Structure 1
Amino acid sequence: LDGNGVPPTFFDDVHVRRGFAYAFDASIVVDEVYMGEAVQSKVLSLPGMPGYDPDAPFYSFDPEKAAEEFKLADVDKDGIPAGEDPDDIWEMGFRLQMLYNSGNTTRQIYAEILQANLAEINEKFVVEVLGLPWPAYLTAQRAYKIPIMTGGWLEDIHDAHNWYQPYTTGTYGARQQLPEDLKAQFKVLLDEGVSLVDPEARHEVYQEFNQLYFDESVGVPVVLATSHGYEQKWVEGRVLNPIFSADVYKTIYETEESPDPGTITVASIGDPLVLDPAACYDTASGEVLQNVYETLVFYDGIRTDQFVPQLAESWEVSDDGTVWTFNIREGVTFHEGGDLTPSDVAYSFQRGLLQGGYSTPQWLLAEPFLGVGVDDITGIVDDFASADDRESLMANDPQVLIDACETVKSKIVADDEAGTVTMTLAQPWGPFLATIANNWGAVMDMEWVVENGGWDGTCETWQNYYSMADADNPFRAITNGTGAYELDHWTPDQEVILTAFEGYWGEPALTERVALLNISEFGTRFAMLQAGDADIIYVPAENRAAVDPMVGEIAIYNPETNAYDDPVPVCSIDTTRLGIDRFEICDEPNDQPLTLYFGRPGLSQDVILFNFNIQ
């Protein structure tokens, strides 16, 4: 410790970590990176989840507290606080690198904020900001060579476990090299939280987690960017749930002011990758599947924590939380004409788990059914030795492969006569409904899948379909769901057209046709919006200033209700101001054509992370 570096265990001192946490100014990120359209994160979980608490303890910029913490540190471990020890960091200083992946200017700014503020706290505190190409950055991160880094996460399911686990016992906890005793404390809380079904009970556990994460200053959650989405005023019935893959279109309709009320036209970016629910792990594909296929349960409107029946009319769960029985809806028809049966439901889940592979979302289902940490079917075949490697998997003893398949089948059992599907979990799983409400829980017609080249349902053949590449998937470009819309056609790189399904079991879609247009150039999308040829478009943050003057009314997110308030008229817009202050609210409507949905926190965030044992 001579001021020209840091020892490997620099960040295992909690006072050093707290000093860095108090030195970070999130308000700069909110104002300068997101132009006022973000909120400071306080905990790892997001609004609407168990554990989210706006009153939870959090770190805010406080240079005096930062200095106090650095003076309490004992980096040289001689038992003397640094403020009283001429050989410790307050007098000797330090020098370290904070790396970011080149091109990620947001993370570069995080590093520069710490660089500037730490130098103000003590001129001997030196942070060197260095950008690396993504492969080199990732390699250094995995080799534990980065002292302080930023870890970003985009949720897979809208549940607290999907946030708390990666940042402690999971992906990032491993890269931080958290001490085993600290990981053990987090694991106790994680296991308890995920095993509870009652949201209030889970919330109490995660509040304990929040306190421990704050006390130990394991990381510093940065900000949540907030929504800024546009639609034509003539669009009605849109349900803006942030967990949706874009939109669910069956409730949307257009008033007579629309030049084409029979078609919802969306101009966005991105093209579907694969239309197999078991393999889909991207938003563009998910948007199609969400409207063509259906799940047993689905999100209740704008609520991210409540569920309503869909293909299951009702369900029951055992007292110990491990056995779920779903009563399957009768009178449901697939687009190609087959009738929905409980066997279709069981087959769909079994097929997904056996198809597996880490490029798919099946790990999210594997853990509830097979056990915490068993996130792929190969875990019960050969302890993951053949993970993502079909050839290696097929080299296993055939009986071992059959046994693994039989295990999966025993977990998900259909009774067509009773009209039920019974699912037996490896342990209670609090977010189970949230897990199966997503596209990977969609139900397919078993007979149709087999006819089109899919798994035949026998335990002698499943390995032939394991970890399929999208290009080899027979369901990459065809669908047969039960949803309110069916796939008319998909022209890659151009458009996806959906049409209302006449035989839909529920309330019919309110608009006959949906056109999802893949248009990479913003100028073209903007021109369509101006001309009224697009109802909804994707607008990058850097282009909002061009679109905002077209806003005639604004619906502002209300954190008390976790929903948008009713739209109110906008009188004028000052694009030089930040956030909501850009918009002057008035009483009289104006003739500008757009509605803006503003201010709802998003589903991804960055966390500044400390490496407890730098290599």
Structure 2
Amino acid sequence: MRKLYTLVGLIMVFSLILSACATPAATEAPVATDATAEATEAPAVELVLNPYIGSNKLDGNGVPPTFFDDVHIRRGFAYAFDWDTVINEVWNGEAVQSLTLALPGMPGYSNDSAAYALDLEKSAEEFKLADVDKDGIPAGEDPDDVWDMGFRLQMIYNTGNSTRQIYAEILQANLAEVNELFTVEVLGLPWPAYLAAQRAKKIPVMVAGWLEDIHDAHNWYQPYTSGTYGARQNMPDDMKGEFKSLLDQAVALVDPAARAEVYYQMNAMYYDQVPGIITVLPTAHGFEQKWIGNRVFNPIFSQDYYAPMTKSADAKNPDVITVVTSGDTDTLDPALSYDTSSGEIIQNVYETLIFYDGVATDKFVPQLATEVPTIENGGVSADGMTWTFKIREGVKFHEGGDLTASDVAYSLQRGLLQGGYSSPQWLLAEPFFGVGLDDITLLVDEGASADSRETLVANDPAVLVAACEKVKAAIVADDAAGTVTMNLATAWGPLLPTLANGWGSIMDSEWVMANGGWDGSCDTWQNFYGMTSAEDPFSAIANGTGPYKLALWTPGEETILEAFDGYWGTPANVPTVIRKIVEEFGTRFSMLQQGDADIIYVPAEQRPQVDPLVGEMRVFDLEANVYAEPVAVCAYNEAELGLAKFTPCAAGETGLDQPLRLNIGRPALQQDVLIFNFNIQP
């Protein structure tokens, strides 16, 4: 039996071997059911394309998402931009090319800075040097690269914004002239769609406008390199890191000359790497009655600082300055005010520790302090971390209180604790809390309760008290010595221009507490966080130390200021100021013609109506960064643009018999930069 089993086993093994070696018989494939098909078919992958860059490839019908990470492409676009067309067509001759991110008068600005100019030959040279397909061969020698393939992309603007539309049309026309294969399509989008595309980082070339918060170079370099716009354009980490290193180095320096040297390096890098095309600075074109004198033209001021102004005895209503404008005050609380209309009243009613020296944008004079702290006078420590302000004695608030060092400390502490991103307090927060810590909530819950008082008050009371105590330790009053010491978290070069603005105004702490404000306790500050103008008890009342006091505010109609008899400094020259709100230009213009208004707001499109009434003018000197003395105007030609409309009188000539003085040519504190998207998102 065992032999039989063995024989059978050998036969079976041999059969299996033969079966394995044989060609298998054909069999019919099983019919797949619907369920089987769904399980075995690969899912379809939908390719998402960005419609603003065509095919999303370098094929002549689009561009790849990383098109602008090639520096030669960016330079090619820069050389194709026409600043003169922008100046003449957008601003009617009343603008100047901006050379750097820093504005005239700031550390880092220089009239000798390298800047791009329209040059289509250089534009072509740069495109030929590009290597968009990244094969190591310049485009001018590579038939598969951008010079021979061409490109197509769309430049987007928000519908109705003619300035952005013209920017796009300039590049559209000039790039087509550089190479007929270069196609830029200009597309207008409704504002919500435009904003959504910008935030989603889908727009190939974006217009990034900025209006400064403080007059300091840091406020210009930061957003365009490592801040808001640097992020939106997907700037490469290495480039952003290099900018950030220089930015942090400059902001920590107290000496303006030392800061300027660092900013010069940033200028050179921005020019060389051209992450954006810096456009133009629009210039001023404002009117006043010739009987107005001593008007201080400092662009940092919120409109006018009235105290030095005079009015001729033969003027209509010589004891009243009447300003007629549009846009009413939002709040009179210095800690909350973040608009020009509110700021104009605040800067005449309240005062800061230091203030700008007349027309100078880079020099300061003591106001409620007795001197401007420096390293040389011992007011600033060698490391720039400790600033000591000596507080002026004998200063009265409008309602009779005496200014003390404690009032100064309380006012600044209150602002920081009131915080919120609808206020200007983020500008003060960083020097006291640290770089990137721009709201008090970041000291409590890492910003989780930002702009939400309800969320903030739910935090651990001990944590809330600790945050408040940190603020109090940062700003310390010594009433006996008459000093306030500021202990910074980091050395901060822009501290003085930050404190010189309206949000650095000093309030009477006892008056604030008596009128429903913060009581100074670290147990209660959170109840005042994120204050709005509607709920703020100090939106409609004021009690400062300034040369004027608030007499009346009728919202939507007028604000009346009266000279303060107990003012510690040089008293105001004109007893009363009336600021009227008149939204309709025709009425404002009529009041100016009749002499019932001394100064009015004139929109750019209405200037031609007022220009013929100019009898003299003050022209801004860009080199000296100041207005020149007034000169009589002998002729007016409406066919010209900007300053060329007005012919100054030669020696011995008599000017036109017209009532107005024109102030023209001062660069504004705003500019646009066309920024390139280094990695366009789908």
Report TM bin, short chain: over 0.9
Q: 2:161, 2:533 → 1: CA distance?
A: 29
Which segments of 5 or more consecutive residues in structure 2 lack a partner in the other structure? Answer: 1-57, 374-378
Question: 267, 289, 292: which one pairs with 2:324?
Answer: 267
Question: 191, 194, 199: which one pairs with 2:256?
Answer: 199
Query: CA shift at 1:136, angstroms?
Result: 1.8
Question: 134, 138, 148: which one pairs with 2:191?
Answer: 134
Question: Which has the higher mean CA deviation after the structures are superposed, 558-567 or 455-464?
Answer: 558-567
1:116 matched residue in structure 2 = 173
Question: 382, 388, 392: which one pairs with 1:319?
Answer: 382
- 1:169 equivalenced with 2:226 (yes/no): yes
SS of match in other structure, 1:312: coil
- 1:31 equivalenced with 2:94 (yes/no): no
1:506 matched residue in structure 2 = 569
Q: 1:3, 1:396 → 2: CA distance?
A: 58
- 1:213 equivalenced with 2:276 (yes/no): no
Question: 527, 543, 547: which one pairs with 2:606?
Answer: 543
Query: CA shift at 1:557, angstroms?
Result: 0.6
Superposition pairs for residues 74-85 of structure 1, below 5 Å? 74-85=131-142
Q: 1:6, 1:473 → 2: CA distance?
A: 52
2:680 matched residue in structure 1 = 614
Question: 584, 587, 591: which one pairs with 1:524?
Answer: 587
- 1:362 equivalenced with 2:425 (yes/no): yes
How large is the Cα RMSD of the aligned pairs? 0.8
Corresponding letter in the other structure for 2:232: R
Superposition pairs for residues 427-446 of structure 1, below 5 Å? 427-446=490-509
- 1:381 equivalenced with 2:444 (yes/no): yes
Superposition pairs for residues 198-347 of structure 1, below 5 Å? 198-314=255-371, 315=373, 316-347=379-410
Query: CA shift at 1:589, angstroms?
Result: 3.3
Decide whether the 8 Å contact of 2:635 with 2:656 is kept in 1: no
- 1:585 equivalenced with 2:648 (yes/no): yes
Q: 2:438, 2:172 → 1: CA distance?
A: 39
TM-score (norm: length of structure 1): 0.99
Query: CA shift at 1:595, angstroms?
Result: 0.7
Query: CA shift at 1:526, angstroms?
Result: 0.6
Superposed CA deviations along residues 338-393 of structure 1, whole A, max 9, x for unmatched, are 11000000000000000000010000000111111111111111111111111111
2:35 matched residue in structure 1 = none
SS of match in other structure, 1:499: strand
Corresponding letter in the other structure for 1:72: L
Decide whether the 8 Å contact of 2:384 with 2:492 is kept in 1: yes
Q: 2:190, 2:454 → 1: CA distance?
A: 33
Q: 2:141, 2:456 → 1: CA distance?
A: 61
Corresponding letter in the other structure for 2:355: F
Corresponding letter in the other structure for 1:537: I
Decide whether the 8 Å contact of 2:431 with 2:489 is kept in 1: yes
Query: CA shift at 1:257, angstroms?
Result: 2.5
- 1:143 equivalenced with 2:209 (yes/no): no
Decide whether the 8 Å contact of 2:370 with 2:392 is kept in 1: yes
Question: Which has the higher mean CA deviation after the structures are superposed, 197-206 or 292-301?
Answer: 197-206
Q: 1:138, 1:317 → 2: CA distance?
A: 44
Q: 2:509, 2:393 → 1: CA distance?
A: 16
Q: 1:549, 1:537 → 2: CA distance?
A: 16
2:111 matched residue in structure 1 = 54
Q: 1:563, 1:257 → 2: CA distance?
A: 29
SS of match in other structure, 2:207: strand
Query: CA shift at 1:23, angstroms?
Result: 0.6
Question: 622, 625, 629: which one pairs with 1:566?
Answer: 629
2:72 matched residue in structure 1 = 15
2:51 matched residue in structure 1 = none
Corresponding letter in the other structure for 2:129: L
Superposed CA deviations along residues 203-261 of structure 1, whole A, max 9, x for unmatched, are 11110000000000111110000111111000011100001000000011100221101
Decide whether the 8 Å contact of 2:322 with 2:596 is kept in 1: yes
Corresponding letter in the other structure for 1:534: A
- 1:603 equivalenced with 2:660 (yes/no): no
Corresponding letter in the other structure for 1:392: T
Q: 1:75, 1:380 → 2: CA distance?
A: 46
Decide whether the 8 Å contact of 2:71 with 2:273 is kept in 1: yes
Q: 1:148, 1:559 → 2: CA distance?
A: 30
Query: CA shift at 1:130, angstroms?
Result: 1.4
Superposed CA deviations along residues 59-91 of structure 1, whole A, max 9, x for unmatched, are 111100101111111111111111111111111
Superposed CA deviations along residues 466-488 of structure 1, whole A, max 9, x for unmatched, are 11121111111111100000111
Q: 2:624, 2:147 → 1: CA distance?
A: 46
Superposed CA deviations along residues 260-296 of structure 1, whole A, max 9, x for unmatched, are 0110000111001111100000000000000000000
SS of match in other structure, 1:215: helix
2:489 matched residue in structure 1 = 426
2:466 matched residue in structure 1 = 403
Corresponding letter in the other structure for 2:117: S
Query: CA shift at 1:590, angstroms?
Result: 3.3
SS of match in other structure, 2:399: coil
Q: 1:336, 1:277 → 2: CA distance?
A: 17
Question: 195, 205, 215: which one pairs with 1:158?
Answer: 215
Question: Which has the higher mean CA deviation after the structures are superposed, 129-138 or 11-20?
Answer: 129-138
2:537 matched residue in structure 1 = 474
Q: 2:96, 2:592 → 1: CA distance?
A: 29
- 1:98 equivalenced with 2:155 (yes/no): yes
SS of match in other structure, 1:166: helix
Superposed CA deviations along residues 485-509 of structure 1, whole A, max 9, x for unmatched, are 0111111111111111111111111
Corresponding letter in the other structure for 2:665: G
Q: 1:357, 1:3 → 2: CA distance?
A: 49
SS of match in other structure, 1:459: coil
TM-score (norm: length of structure 2): 0.89
Decide whether the 8 Å contact of 2:336 with 2:424 is kept in 1: yes
- 1:2 equivalenced with 2:59 (yes/no): yes
SS of match in other structure, 1:487: strand
Query: CA shift at 1:133, angstroms?
Result: 2.0
The number of aligned residues is 615
1:451 matched residue in structure 2 = 514
Corresponding letter in the other structure for 2:313: E
Q: 2:467, 2:445 → 1: CA distance?
A: 10
Q: 1:82, 1:432 → 2: CA distance?
A: 49
Q: 1:134, 1:257 → 2: CA distance?
A: 51
Query: CA shift at 1:198, angstroms?
Result: 1.1
Decide whether the 8 Å contact of 2:592 with 2:599 is kept in 1: yes
SS of match in other structure, 1:317: coil
Q: 1:5, 1:527 → 2: CA distance?
A: 55
Q: 2:113, 2:279 → 1: CA distance?
A: 15
Question: Which has the higher mean CA deviation after the structures are superposed, 354-363 or 250-259?
Answer: 250-259
Q: 1:561, 1:92 → 2: CA distance?
A: 49
Q: 1:97, 1:420 → 2: CA distance?
A: 59
Corresponding letter in the other structure for 2:433: L
Corresponding letter in the other structure for 2:675: L
SS of match in other structure, 2:225: coil
